[in-house]
Amino acid sequence: MKGITLAALLLLPLSTYASSYKCEALQQGQLGSNGKTVSALSSIDIDGKQMHFSLNSASWDLSYIGEKQIAKLYSTDNGNVAVSFIDGNPIIFVLHLVNDDGRKGTYNLSECSEQ
């Protein structure tokens, strides 16, 4: 029994898929941008069914909620922040925000690279 438990513990890190991304551009929906590309620093870490998303000085922890067409979908517990992850060429993240006053924003992050 101890051997099985030890083997399971040794294999556990191998079964977890983790990826980190850095994105350098933000398009569409940025306030004051009039639809132009705006500089933004973002880092995205995906570990199994969890995503940690940082954009400039804000960050969120999101959970995997499913897939729709070509995108994997993640959301915060309250649903005010959602991210669609399109693992293609190029890699794209679409950030959906709902402010406390109900205003919505959609932001496309491009120029992403896996770290």
Domains, the chain, ordered by start: 18-114 (2.40.128.20)
What's the mean pLDDT in 23-28?
74
pLDDT of residue 39: 66
Q: Which pLDDT band holds residue 111 (cuts at 50, 70, 90)? A: confident
Token representation of residue 77? 């517990």
Question: What three-state secondary structure class fits 3?
Answer: helix
Token representation of residue 51? 């995503």
pLDDT of residue 83: 94
What's the mean pLDDT in 49-60?
90
Distance CA(52)–CA(110), nearest Å, equals 17
Predicted model pTM: 0.74
pLDDT of residue 97: 86
- Looking at the chain, the whole-number percentage of residues with pLDDT higher than 90 is 34
